Structure 1
Amino acid sequence: MMRAKGIWVGPHEFVQFGEPEKSLSAQIATRGRSIDFAGLGMYLPNPDPVLKALGRDIKVYRELRADAHVGGCIRRRKAAVKSLEWGLDRGRAKGRVARSVEAIFADLDLSRIITEMLDAVLYGYQPMEVMWGKVGGYLVPIDIVGKPADWFVYDADNLLRLRTRQDPIKGEELPPRKFLVPRQDASYDNPYGFADMSMCFWPTTFKKGGLKFWVQFTEKYGAPWVIGKHPRSASDSETSLLLDCLEDMVQDAVAVVPDDSSVEIKEAAGKTGSAEVYERLLHFCRSEVSIALLGQNQTTEASATHASARAGLEVTRDIRDGDKAIVQEAFNTLIRWVCALNFNDDARPVFEMWEQREVDMVQAQRDEILTRAGARLTRAYFMRAYSLNEDEIAQAAPPRAEDFAESDPDYADGAAALLEQAAQPTLDDWLSRVRRRIDAASDLQGLQEALLVEFAELDEAGLSKVMALAFACTDLAGRAEVQGDA
């Protein structure tokens, strides 16, 4: 009898070489075979380095939100996502399916749900329990509630389980389509995801310690020292009486001392450098938290310039898009469940979030000037430049000959007025900054230095756009006049 050719992939599993499909589909690198994991029958511990060092769960991260700076950064980060517009892209889905899904989202408290979902970026993962109910013959989610993440664990197969009193070690298995789990940067090695609060723990802890010592330093050296002098022959009772009088003097600024005693008040000099050490520590810790949660520290520091603050907001927008993707993925999973339970159709709508685009006034004014100069802008241009739908653009009536006859060929006055209006916001900003410096200056020399500092990094981007627009319009006006003469 011939022995089958193959390879042992486990203690009790033999794969023959004649079974290529099975050998390719089987998972070989698993925790059950790894030498680094010996926790079979138990839950998979959270590999977060801070939690491992402390021996605690994510409750310690929840306590950090009481810090004013951490809480403010969290509110700002969540508000950036909640301010986005949302909607459903129907795609190839049937109208009945799209309308049903849209009605489901209209009945949900999306503001609260999105706020709870965004806790996933803080703690790595955020279980959301879906409450199903019958509505009009369909089984639909009537509410989605965020549950404390520390109640849940992952097993060796990366499946979410609920730790209960009956099974606190391994946790109870959860039914399908019951829990949405938004996660940030989850992987096979770390199904819990990456918690941004882990980057804030030590800076916030050191900040609290530095603030404590700074307060003690302020109490010790911030107030002047009251020194009492008494004759060498004074008794202990007389010394104690003088000390009590000095304590009353510190509180009430009034004291009665013997005529042969003296009181001297001294300021704590030379301690400014020591105080700056604590202040620098606090500013460093605050900057670390801002970088961890917002991606930058420009818009939270008083020393930031207008240009650097605007650059910092661009970094925050990238992080906002990452948070938005987590929310979109969770809602699209919910849509997939709804369609699987109620509709026999693979085509389904897609949940999307986007930023409401503001109309660029400089571009709009440029288009108006070009139109007056004779340029004809197409419908495709308006749809692309202003994000308009085709049915939102009315068909313009063809121009009449008398309109050209009555038009004024010299449109310089109108163009100048529009250009002046476009440049006014930039000029108003410059004048307001100059006015603030003048009000704060004590002398002409100080005013000169302040103006040099204020306009060292002058943001002339707005005015540059207007000047470029003026040159472009002038060039086009000349071309139109030459063409008209021809």
Structure 2
Amino acid sequence: MTSETTTETRKNLSSDAKGLIADARNDITIPFFNETLQPADDTLIERGGGLGLKIYDQIERDTHAYAVLQKRKRLLLARDWDVDAASDKPRDIEAADFVRQTLQKLQFDDICEGLLDATLKGFAVSEIVWKRDGNRIIPERIVSHDQRRFVFGEDWQPRLLTWQNMSKGIELPQRKFIVHRFGVKGNNPYGLGLGSRLFWAVLFKREGVAFWLHYLDKFAGPTIVGKTPLGSLPAEQRKLLNTLTRMRTSAASVVPMDTDVSFLEAARSGSVSYGEWLAYWDKQITICINGETLTTDIGANGSRAASETHADILSLLVGSDGDLLSGTLKSQLAQWLIDYNYPGAGVPDIWRVKPEDEKQAAETRKSKADAASATDKALVAVLRTAGMIDDDEAAREMIVGSGIVDHLSETAIERLVEARFAFMEGGKRGRDLRQAAEENPMFAQLFGDRSKKN
């Protein structure tokens, strides 16, 4: 019977189902394959040239782009972080405590900030320097590296470019380099960061500033015109031109008596607002990074309700960044700490606490506390009534019949029966759980901790 059941429930799995068929070797979107994969970022391919990812560093030179990027990053880093055990098993709990204590000894926020550079560039790499601490192996420090120093092989493992090997790089040891990725799609271990989209907005904004400066130079001040007598020598004309040029930055100047100097005001119809051009691209930058605008600039038509809605959108993006980072930290840093120190234990989660989770947890705690308080009041009322019954069996039936003690063991119910007289109304108007716990040792042993919370 057991043999037949095993045969019936066993499922066949083909060899093709166990591997990746659409891999990098047969990917038609990869122009050529030479053991290392190349970035699939069109912006980087078209505009990177010899600079590579350096062009995305230039994005942060724009004050608005830098501020909005920092806002998204800092909102995540400002959240508390925690480590949750993989299960309730003692070994898993001990392993989680070890990981938490290890991270507390490091500059954990700085480590996360370095890895979050992947949001802009697609990926980030940090190196772990390990050390022995008694019978444990822990990180001494974790150092962020420039992404331009790395390429990725077919196995998605990082390879370090050196002066001796500038194309394929050198193989790196396991459990050494943390790689965090953003925007991964297909066979592209480099990810696709926001820089691919921000590059154009910042470029167009920068070009607009250049035109604006040219406009101000041409129209903000008049053009000085100097007229010399007919037949003046070229040397005299050049001398006058130099004098007029200096007049643009000086309060007074001296020219020959027979020279006619006038000011030509540039005139044009209509309005030219380069400020609107720059504001437009600032708005596009904000939308690209934060998914909204009102938490950065409420504008003339903004409202509190709209800004709160936009804040929720930003919170979702920040939460998504936190989830991605948590996955990286769990699958790499936490996994390696467990492999070295608690082999076989469950890998704990390292995560940033979301405000909505904190609110929900607080509401849950309040709901449980209110329910417990109501149950306690009902229990006190039942015990007061049972205290008027001398017969233990009858009192027991009355207490059990109330349905309030269904979750208690037989031993606990017997102790309630014995302690029922402590709740009879006397000179005072009855006693609550705390008073009963103080006056009745058996009741205190059963409900002491619970009564203190109320």
TM-score relative to the length of structure 1: 0.64
Structure 1 residue 197: Cα displacement: 0.8
Corresponding residue number in structure 2 for 1:50: 43
Distance of aligned partners of 1:247 and 1:272 in 2 relative to their CA distance in 1, 3 Å threshold = farther
Residue of structure 1 in register with 2:180 after alignment: 182
* Larger deviation, residues 286-295 vs 86-95: 86-95
Contact 1:298 1:304 in 2 (8 A): no
Amino acid at match of 1:97: A
Residue aligning to 1:169: 167
Counterpart in 1 of 2:287? Answer: 291
Match of 2:56 among 32, 42, 61: 61
Report the Cα offset of residue 353 of structure 1.
Answer: 0.9
2:348 is equivalent to residue 349 of structure 1? yes
Matches within 5 A, 1:221-260: 221-229=219-227, 243-257=241-255
How do 1:373-452 and structure 2 match up within 5 A?
A: 385=363
Partners in 1 of 2:171 and 2:367 — Cα distance? 48
SS in 2 for 1:226: strand
Cα 1:234–1:171 shift into 2, 3 Å: closer
Displacement of 1:101 in angstroms is 1.5
For residue 25 of structure 1, what is the amino acid of its counterpart? K
Asked if 1:75 is matched to 2:73, the reply is no
Q: Distance in 1 between matches of 2:152 and 2:234?
A: 70
Superposed CA deviations along residues 212-265 of structure 1, whole A, max 9, x for unmatched, are: 121111111111233445665777676556545544443323234566655443
Query: 1:349 is matched by which residue type in structure 2?
Result: P
Question: Secondary structure in 1 aligned to 2:352?
Answer: strand
Q: Structure 1 residues 238 and 123 mapped into 2: Cα distance closer, same or farther (>3 Å)? A: closer
CA spacing shift, 1:251–1:127, aligned 2, 3 Å = closer
Are 1:31 and 2:29 matched, yes or no? no
AA aligned to 2:336 is W
Please state how far the C-alpha of 1:358 moved relative to its aligned partner: 11
SS at match of 1:212: helix
Q: CA deviation at 1:324?
A: 0.8
Are the counterparts in 2 of residues 50 and 198 from structure 1 also a CA contact under 8 Å? yes
**Number of residue pairs matched by the alignment:** 359
SS at 2:37 equivalent? coil
Percent identity among equivalent residues? 26
Unaligned runs of 5+ in 1: 1-18, 361-381, 399-486
Q: Structure 2 vs 1, CA of residues 217 and 116 (structure 1 numbering), >3 Å: closer, same or farther?
A: same
Kept in 2: contact 1:230–1:260 (CA 8 A): yes
Query: Deviation per CA, 1:308-361, whole angstroms, max 9, x where unpaired?
Result: 44443232212111111122112212222222222244334322212457999x
Q: How does 1:75-224 map to 2 (within 5 A)?
A: 75-90=70-85, 91-94=87-90, 95-224=93-222
Which consecutive unaligned segments of at least 5 residues does structure 2 have?
A: 1-11, 378-454
Alignment-mate amino acid for residue 339 of structure 2 = A
Q: Could you tell me how far apart the structure 2 residues matched to 1:349 and 1:386 are? A: 24
2:151 alignment partner, SS class: strand
TM-score of the superposition, structure 2-length normalised?
Answer: 0.69
Aligned Cα root-mean-square deviation (Å): 3.5
1:42-79, Cα deviation, whole Å (9 max, x unpaired): 41110100111134421221232222122212211111
User: SS of the counterpart of 1:141?
Assistant: strand
Cα distance in 2 between the residues matched to 1:311 and 1:38? 44
With over 3 angstroms needed to count, the CA separation of the structure-2 counterparts of 1:392 and 1:227, relative to structure 1, is farther
How far apart in 2 are the matches of 1:393 and 1:349?
32
Q: Does 1:338 align with 2:337?
A: yes
Q: Give 1 or 2 for the bigger CA radius of gyration.
A: 2
| C-alpha contact (below 8 Å) 2:225/2:261 kept by paired residues | yes
